[in-house]
């Protein structure tokens, strides 16, 4: 406040020299204030540019986040769809496996039944054989009937007959010269 009175006194009743010094001081002060205003204006402009750049980066980041979220949701939907397909496939495979297992069991029972029938047939074919001589005669007769060279021949049946013959030969302790 006192400085203001001093300035007013110099302006009102000051010498030429004091007025000249006051003008120089006012000029310097005016230049200093303009420079300060210019610096502040530049800082304000820089802050505005930084704010715009920050907002742009935020917008860009938000867009990338939205895009990534959409992609993630699409990937999740695709994954869920593929998972459902795989689960359905596994369920179908399990159902097929159960069918195959039941079919396998049925076929095994059928094979066992056929083997029983084969052995029953072999028992019938060799029924009444109670000596080595009757065994040889029956074997020759069966070979004449089932030999593969005959019209009604069956090589599988011949194999079964040969197996049974060898078992019965061991039972009667005879050589297999038929």
Instruction: Give residue limits of the domains in the chain.
Output: 126-178
**Confidence (pLDDT) at 116:** 56
First-to-final CA distance of the chain: 150
Low-confidence ranges of the chain (pLDDT < 70): 1-2, 4-5, 111-119, 174-178
Quick count: other Cβ atoms within 10 Å of Cβ 165?
A: 22
Alpha-carbon distance values, 161 to 62, 87, 102, 174 (Å): 87, 52, 32, 16
**Confidence (pLDDT) at 178:** 47
Which residues have C-beta within 8 Å of that of residue 152, sequence separation ≥ 6? 145, 146
């Amino acid at each position: 406040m006192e400085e203001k009175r001093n300035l007013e006194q110099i302006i009102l009743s000051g010498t030429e020299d004091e007025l000249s010094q006051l003008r120089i001081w006012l000029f310097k002060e005016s230049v200093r204030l303009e420079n300060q205003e210019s610096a502040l204006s530049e800082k304000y402009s820089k802050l505005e540019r930084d704010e715009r750049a920050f907002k742009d980066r935020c917008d860009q980041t938000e867009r990338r986040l939205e895009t990534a979220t959409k992609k993630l949701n699409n990937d999740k939907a695709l994954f869920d769809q593929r998972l459902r397909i795989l689960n359905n496939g596994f369920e179908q495979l399990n159902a097929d496996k159960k069918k195959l297992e039941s079919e396998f069991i049925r076929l095994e029972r059928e094979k066992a039944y056929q083997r029983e029938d084969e052995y029953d047939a072999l028992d019938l074919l060799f029924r009444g054989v109670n000596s080595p001589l009757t065994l040889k005669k029956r074997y020759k007769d069966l070979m004449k009937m089932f030999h593969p060279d005959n019209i009604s021949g069956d090589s599988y049946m011949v194999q079964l007959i040969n197996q049974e013959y060898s078992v019965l030969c061991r039972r009667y302790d005879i050589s297999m010269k038929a």
